[in-house]
Amino acid sequence: MVLNKKSVLMLIVLGLASAVLTLYTMSAFDIARYAFDAGGSELGWLYTPSGSFLPWPKGPGMAAALSRGNGVDLFIYRYLIKSWILVAITVLLWTATILYLFMSIRSQPEKQ
């Protein structure tokens, strides 16, 4: 069985995207334990300086003082992390990658 170049390239892209999203999700959930929804339109961090979820999750500093996050971090925390949608997106991307792999293998003509 030999996959064509387009299928191999697509599998590499899907696999890398799935792996990066998985690492991002694990890192975001790890530092989310230091964040809290301060109500309204504010995100709070238990330590200062504040952490961030973009571009890559970065934990807050070591000083035990409350600090504020920004609106993008609040959106990611409230709607993607607390609701577990980020995990669902990660699982869906891995599912799409695996389905594409099986469909690519199945569509290959058998050599005789």
Give the integer Cα–Cα distance in Å for 97 and 89: 12
Residues of the chain with pLDDT under 50: none
Provide the whole-model pTM.
0.89
**Residues 22-41: tens digit of each pLDDT:** 999 999 999 999 999 988 88
Q: What is the DSSP string of 72-112?
A: HHHHIIIIIITT-HHHHHHHHHHHHHHHHHHHHHHTSPPP-
Task: Look at residue 36 in the predicted model and tell me its pLDDT.
Answer: 94
Task: Look at residue 40 in the predicted model and tell me its pLDDT.
Answer: 85
The domain limits of the chain are 5-106
Task: Look at residue 87 in the predicted model and tell me its pLDDT.
Answer: 98
Task: Look at residue 39 in the predicted model and tell me its pLDDT.
Answer: 83
Phi then psi for residue 39, to 5 deg, are: 85, 155
Task: Look at residue 112 in the predicted model and tell me its pLDDT.
Answer: 56
